[in-house]
Amino acid sequence: MVTAYDEPSGRLCDAAGVDVLLVGDSVANTVLGYPDTLHVTIDDMARHTAAVARATPSALIVGDLPWMSYHVGTDDAVRNAASLVRAGAGCVKLEGGAIRTPVVEAILQAQIPVMGHLGLTPQSVLAMGGYRVQGRDLDAAKLLLDDSHALADAGCFAIVLEGVPDALAARITAELGIPTIGIGAGPGTDGQVLVFHDLLGLGNRPLAKFVREYAQLGMLVTEAIGRFAADVRSGAFPGAEETYAAGADLRAALGE
Ligand code: KIV
């Protein structure tokens, strides 16, 4: 799974053969320039989901329910999940464990598949007191294990495990009958997810330990745009091959 936020990122990830495109609320940090994911709304998420859907990918599109779109009541949550489906998502994702099972069940009753998300859940950054690995001691690990069972029992078809120790992620994966998708959860999950901008070296934030940069496109992009600017300043761009040349008659009429 890779995150995608617009038509180009959806198209490129789909062409690369990924199975799942997550229109993540990380769009807040990666594209919209916010400091955290608490700033994006359901309207933002619907707009980005629709843009990814316009790539008509073969991959499953997961629409991420943003903070406060499923916290106020189940009716509200179902309506918001439906708006992501109408925008083109094949399912929705939400953060949290046992506390979220009524919402998961309500969305499932509307025939919308739900992906869970446990561990370092960025929408809980204020409650967690920062972005910290979760489930490090036995009590916290047991709570996460219980939460994973609660989500699976409620009907989630898969669970993202973010920022948890490898042995805990492997244990949850072994115990659950549904797939887990890890990010900062070690190699023992069924799948893995990375954020598009992290994977491609397009971000401007320090990379987390769990990120592997498969390219450094940011440097390439800055270098290419710098060459364009230099060519414009020197007059080397545009050249004859990038110019619609006027015919002789027009030139004469213009007095050239
Ligand atoms: O929004 C997002 O990018 C996510 C992934 C980190 C799983 O939720």
Give pLDDT, residue 135.
Answer: 97
Give pLDDT, residue 256.
Answer: 87
Identify residue 207 by its one-letter amino acid code: L
Give pLDDT, residue 206.
Answer: 85
> Ligand 1 pocket, 25 CB below 6 A?
yes
Structural tokens at position 109: 């009753």
> Ligand 1 pocket, 26 CB below 6 A?
yes
pLDDT along the chain (256 residues), means of 10: 98 98 98 97 98 98 98 97 98 98 98 98 96 97 98 98 98 98 98 98 90 97 98 98 97 95
| CATH class held by domain 2-215 | alpha beta
- For CA atoms 121, 124, 127, 129, the dihedral sign is positive
Give pLDDT, residue 74.
Answer: 97
| Residues 11-22 pLDDT 10s | 999 999 999 999
Give pLDDT, residue 205.
Answer: 77
For residues 29, 212, 17 and 197, what is the CA-based torsion angle, rounded to 10 degrees?
Answer: 20
Considering the candidates 162, 175, 223, 256, report the single residue annotated as catalytic: 162
Buried b / exposed e over 88-127, threshold 16 CB at 10 Å, is: bbbbbbbbbbeebbebbebbbeeebbbbbbbbbbbbebee
Give pLDDT, residue 191.
Answer: 98
Catalytic site residue 7?
A: no
Q: Please tell me the distance from the alpha carbon of residue 256 to that of residue 254, in angstroms, as a whole number.
A: 6
Q: Domain map of the chain by residue range?
A: 2-215, 220-253
> Ligand 1 pocket, 28 CB below 6 A?
no
